[in-house]
Amino acid sequence: MAQLNFLSPPASSNQATASSSHWTLFIDGASRNNPGPAGAGFYVLKDSEVFAQEGYFLGSKTNNQAEYLALIVGLAFVQKHIDSKDTLRVVSDSQLVVRQLLGEYRVKNLALKPLFLLAHDMIKKNNAHVMHVLRTENTHADEMANVGIDKKKPVPSFVKKLLEKHAISL
C-alpha cells in the first residue's frame, strides 16, 4: 500500500478559493478500565470558529477502539457539513491511530482492522490531513469523550448505520 501523506498542511489561504473553508476536527476516545465504559468525543472548528462539539457513549470498548470510533464519528459528522473545496485537518493525541493511518505502524490487533479500514477510507475521501498532538493540546475533545461516557448519549443513527454497513458493532 502506498504511503499517504496526511501530514501535509492543507492548502494555504492564497491557494484556496474565497468560498472555501478550513475545518479542524479534534478527536479523542476514552475508556475507563480499558476495556470498559467508553466515549467518543470531537470538537470542530470552521475557519477558527467553534462549529460543534459532541460526546457519545460507545458501550464497553478498549481505549484504541474508542480512539478509532471517535475519528469515525467525528468524520461522519463533518462530512454532513463540509464542501468539496474545503480543507480538513484531523487532530488526535493517539500516536497509535495517527501512525497506523500514516502507514508507519501496522494494524496488528484484529479488532482494530475494520475500524482502521473505515477510518482510512473516510480520510482519503475527505482528503483530510492527520496530525498528532500532545494530550494537553486536545483537552476539548477529551472532555467531550468523558461527557459521552457520563451522560451516556447514544451515537447518532446515521453513524450506527455507517458502522453496521462495515460490520462494526457498538
91-124 pLDDT tens trace: 999 999 999 999 999 999 999 999 999 999 999 9
Number of neighbours of residue 148 by Cβ within 10 angstroms:
29
Judged against a pLDDT cut of 50, whether residue 11 lies above it is answered with no
28-76 pLDDT tens trace: 999 999 999 999 999 999 999 999 999 999 999 999 999 999 999 999 9
CA–CA separation, 104 and 119 (whole Å): 16
Residue 57 domain-assigned? yes
Judged against a pLDDT cut of 90, whether residue 154 lies above it is answered with yes
Residue 139 domain-assigned? yes
pLDDT at 18: 61
Residue 12 domain-assigned? no
Residue 7 domain-assigned? no
Domains of the chain: total: 1
Which residues, at least 6 apart from 13, have a Cβ–Cβ distance to it below 8 Å?
Answer: 22
Residue 10 domain-assigned? no
Range from 15-24, 73-82, 150-159 carrying the lowest mean pLDDT? 15-24
CA–CA separation, 51 and 11 (whole Å): 20
CA–CA separation, 133 and 93 (whole Å): 5
Residue 86 domain-assigned? yes
- Could you tell me what percent of the chain has a pLDDT over 90? 89
Host domain of residue 44:
22-165
Residue 83: give its domain's CATH number. 3.30.420.10
pLDDT at 8: 46
pLDDT at 19: 84
122-143 pLDDT tens trace: 999 999 999 999 999 999 999 9
Residue 15 domain-assigned? no
Residue 65 domain-assigned? yes
Which residues, at least 6 apart from 116, have a Cβ–Cβ distance to it below 8 Å?
Answer: 68, 100, 101, 107
